[in-house]
């Protein structure tokens, strides 16, 4: 193979570059040829738009918006829209590629995309955000579409913005097209089960991994970093099924109770306490870093990227890590974790329950029908379990970690489809 290797691993801790380095390792293991490697590495389309918006004080500000389609080989591209001051084209490109691998690993018929607008939504009024979102949608009119490219929420956006995008896109078409976005409010065609879908997938992955390591779930202990959407749902569902969650944390601090934290109580406390665990008394207060190194069966990082790095990988004492967050482990930490024999269920597999139920939302919209919560859960659980098995078997077959195996499964799927569709 003659394709150019990315910069040496020692030079990076950036989660996106970590992701690309794993793509490279998996491509080599698969023996991917140069043509396909380069096709899969480079995004199909990158769009940058200027968005003039009338602010509440009457002035006009121009924002920059992005949408990158990394791949549409498996189907229409799918990926969130981020509103943040840090948004830039390189980040959007990397996040779009990440979506390609995530959709492929769980075998849903989507390519990968990502979008964003460089703005600070916390300093904007609802009216300003609405005008910005509608303006972005108008500029992306030829990019978005239920058969072309389907956005979803990401950092700084949620059901409200998705409703505006759906409405603006529908108006321009003269009819209601709710399948153009997912993550909508339920009344507009959002799916039941979406809110807990990612945490639920993390739980299903953790249980599948416990089976492989012959850990009795009723005797298992868990620590969870991050108590937001992903972390709190994962913790609740693990507890419901008999695991003992001994530590949780959020931005306010970390809480440890060797007898098990009452997660339902912690959720209620958070709800009544402005969304944080500040002052939670259901566990002893410990350092956030200590939570990561506790002797537990399962560690679930579900807060942010790059928390397990060369600095602390050696001190990790969990038997397995189930990655709820995107990119919580740096590429440099991979080798250390692997050499300790810790099983890692990687992000692109473990947190794919969210995009799976987004896919179900799109399917329901296109059917003009609503599934019950039970049907959504059963089908997403099945996809998560089957995907886990596929990745586990691939890891054994190639003698690689589950992370590299997940990339192998994803790249192989996209590369094969590309070969059938034909190149240029």
DSSP letters of 69-111? EEE-SSSSEEEEEEE-TT--HHHHHHHHHHHHHHHHHTT-S-E
Closest separation between CB of residue 289 and ligand NAD, Å? 9
Q: Is 114 a catalytic residue?
A: yes
The alpha-helical segments, DSSP class H, found in 296-400 are 331-339, 347-350, 353-367, 373-398
Q: Which stretch binds ligand NAD (CB under 6 A): 92-100, 210-218, 221-229, 381-389?
A: 221-229
Task: Provide the 10 A C-beta neighbour count for residue 25.
Answer: 20
- CA 309, distance to chain mean position in Å, is 19
Q: Which of 229, 257, 262, 309 binds ligand NAD (CB under 6 A)?
A: 229
Q: Which residue(s) pair with 54 in the sheet?
A: 60
227 binds ligand NAD (CB under 6 A): yes
Q: Which stretch binds ligand NAD (CB under 6 A): 122-130, 162-170, 229-237, 386-394?
A: 229-237
6 binds ligand NAD (CB under 6 A): no
Q: Which stretch binds ligand NAD (CB under 6 A): 67-75, 160-168, 228-236, 387-395?
A: 228-236
Number of residues that bind ligand NAD (CB under 6 A): 20
Give CA–CA dist 408/25, Å, rounded: 9
Q: Which of 93, 102, 114, 244 is catalytic?
A: 114
Closest separation between CB of residue 271 and ligand NAD, Å? 12
Residue 61, exposed/middle/buried by CB under 10 A (0-12, 13-18, 19+)? Answer: middle
Residues 6+ apart with CB under 8 A from 248: 223, 224, 227, 231, 232, 235, 254, 255, 261, 263, 266, 277, 283, 291
Q: Which helix (H) or strand (E) holds 11?
A: none
176 binds ligand NAD (CB under 6 A): no
75 binds ligand NAD (CB under 6 A): no
Measured from the CB atom, the residue of 230 and 298 that comes closer to ligand NAD is: 230
Residue 3, exposed/middle/buried by CB under 10 A (0-12, 13-18, 19+)? Answer: middle
285 binds ligand NAD (CB under 6 A): no
260 binds ligand NAD (CB under 6 A): no
158 binds ligand NAD (CB under 6 A): no
Q: Which stretch binds ligand NAD (CB under 6 A): 103-111, 140-148, 211-219, 227-235?
A: 227-235
- Residue numbers annotated as active site: 114
Which residues form the interface with ligand NAD (CB under 6 A)?
198, 225-231, 249-251, 288, 302-304, 324-326, 351, 354
């Amino acid at each position: 193979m003659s394709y150019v290797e990315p910069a040496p691993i020692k030079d990076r801790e950036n989660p996106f570059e970590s992701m690309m380095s794993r793509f490279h390792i998996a491509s080599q293991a698969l023996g991917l040829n140069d043509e396909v490697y380069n096709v899969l590495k480079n995004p199909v389309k990158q769009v940058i738009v200027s968005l003039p918006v009338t602010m509440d004080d009457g002035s006009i500000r121009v924002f920059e918006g992005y949408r990158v389609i990394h791949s549409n080989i498996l189907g229409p591209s799918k990926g969130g829209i981020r509103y943040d001051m840090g948004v830039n084209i390189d980040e959007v490109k990397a996040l779009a590629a990440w979506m390609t691998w995530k959709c492929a690993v769980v075998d849903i018929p989507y390519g990968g995309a990502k979008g964003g607008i460089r703005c600070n939504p916390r300093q904007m009024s609802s009216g300003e955000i609405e005008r910005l979102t509608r303006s972005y949608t108008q500029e992306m009119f030829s990019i978005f579409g239920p058969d072309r490219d389907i956005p979803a929420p990401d950092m700084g956006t949620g059901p409200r913005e998705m409703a505006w995008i759906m409405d603006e896109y529908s108006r321009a078409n003269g009819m209601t097209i709710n399948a153009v976005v997912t993550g909508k409010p339920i009344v507009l065609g959002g799916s039941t089960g979406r809110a807990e879908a990612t945490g639920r997938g993390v739980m299903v992955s953790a249980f599948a991994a416990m089976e492989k390591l012959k850990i009795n779930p009723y005797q298992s202990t868990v620590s969870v970093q991050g108590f937001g959407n992903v972390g709190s749902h994962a913790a609740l569902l693990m507890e419901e099924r008999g695991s003992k969650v001994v530590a949780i944390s959020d931005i306010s601090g970390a809480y440890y109770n060797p007898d098990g934290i009452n997660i339902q109580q912690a959720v209620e406390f958070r709800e009544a306490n402005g969304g944080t665990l500040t002052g939670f008394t259901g566990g002893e207060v410990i350092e956030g870093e200590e939570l990561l190194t506790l002797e537990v069966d399962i560690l679930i990082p579900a807060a942010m990227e790059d928390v397990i790095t060369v600095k602390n990988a050696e001190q990790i004492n969990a038997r397995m890590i189930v990655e709820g967050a995107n990119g919580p482990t740096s590429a440099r930490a991979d080798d250390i974790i692997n050499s300790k024999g810790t099983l890692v269920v990687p992000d692109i597999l473990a947190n794919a329950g969210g995009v799976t139920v987004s896919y179900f939302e799109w399917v329901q919209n296109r059917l003009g029908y609503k599934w019950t919560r039970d049907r959504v859960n059963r089908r997403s659980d099945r996809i998560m379990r089957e995907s886990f098995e596929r990745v586990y078997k691939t890891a054994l077959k190639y003698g690689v970690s589950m992370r590299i195996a997940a990339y192998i499964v994803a790249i192989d799927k996209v590369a094969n489809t590309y070969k059938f569709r034909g190149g240029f």
